[in-house]
Amino acid sequence: MKDRLRILITGFGPFPGAPFNPTQPLVSRLLRLRRPAFDDIEFSSHIFPVTYKAVDRELPQLLATHRPQALLMFGLAARTQFMRIETRARNAITVLWPDADQECLRKGSINGDAQARMFGPHTAKLLRAALGTGVDARASRDAGSYLCNYLSWRAIESTSRPNGPILAAFVHIPPLPPRADGQHRRPAYRLTLEEVVDAGEAMLLELIKLTRSALRGKSSSS
């Protein structure tokens, strides 16, 4: 067990304006996949409440408990009709929209005057993996200023700490049909859960390869 690669997959719960968050069934479906490539992977998952306090409390707990070597995080982009692979986290917090606890922060930055934090070049390979499944996926430089961006910032921070994850990635998905049969997919919905699961699986497989390669490089240089 200790030699297994450890991957943490996360989503978010509902929040004001989004009573159904499709990242929850997406994470559940990814955890139920059975593939030979997953036989030696130790997966863990978590659904974050959409609050700043929850992220600050639960992310460190998850990292300490599961010690993941890679994070694959999903969030809902309610006004986007395609998948967005985020390339950075902005040093920004909205002061206009409250979280699910109805808390609205009073400052518009996460960390003083710090610059944006970059996920890294691996995001381009995750994008190619998603595109290979036929979905509309695009690179994004703007993760917003809400909880998705906030979690992205905290996750990137964790990759620079000793024994923290080696790689982290955040993917925004569009609204999906609330019914499993995909009724009323178009024109209201451009993607179905099945299509997003396929793209998520492709990105997960690519992230596993990239993490293994990073671990080999780390061990050879030490």
47 in a structural domain: yes
pLDDT digits (tens, 9 = 90+) for 52-94: 999 999 999 999 999 999 999 999 998 999 999 999 999 999 8
- Give me the CATH number covering residue 153: 3.40.630.20
131 in a structural domain: yes
Query: Which residues span the domain enclosing 25?
Result: 5-217
| Domain count for the chain | 1
DSSP structural state of residue 211? H
| Of the candidates 139, 150, 91, 142, the residue with the CA atom closest to the CA atom of residue 117 | 91
Average pLDDT, the chain: 91
84 in a structural domain: yes
31 in a structural domain: yes
Asked whether residue 181 carries a pLDDT value surpassing 60, the answer given is no
Q: Which long-range contacts (CB under 8 A, 24 or more apart) does 52-55 make?
A: 52/93, 52/99, 52/103, 52/105, 52/147, 52/150, 53/101, 53/103, 55/147, 55/150, 55/151, 55/154
Asked whether residue 161 carries a pLDDT value surpassing 80, the answer given is yes
Asked whether residue 20 carries a pLDDT value surpassing 70, the answer given is yes
CA 123 to chain centroid, in Å, comes to 12
| Of the candidates 187, 196, 172, the residue with the CA atom closest to the CA atom of residue 80 | 172
121 in a structural domain: yes
222 in a structural domain: no
Strand partners, 74: 171
pLDDT of 102: 85
118 in a structural domain: yes
pLDDT digits (tens, 9 = 90+) for 183-222: 444 456 789 999 999 999 999 999 999 999 999 887 766 5
117 in a structural domain: yes
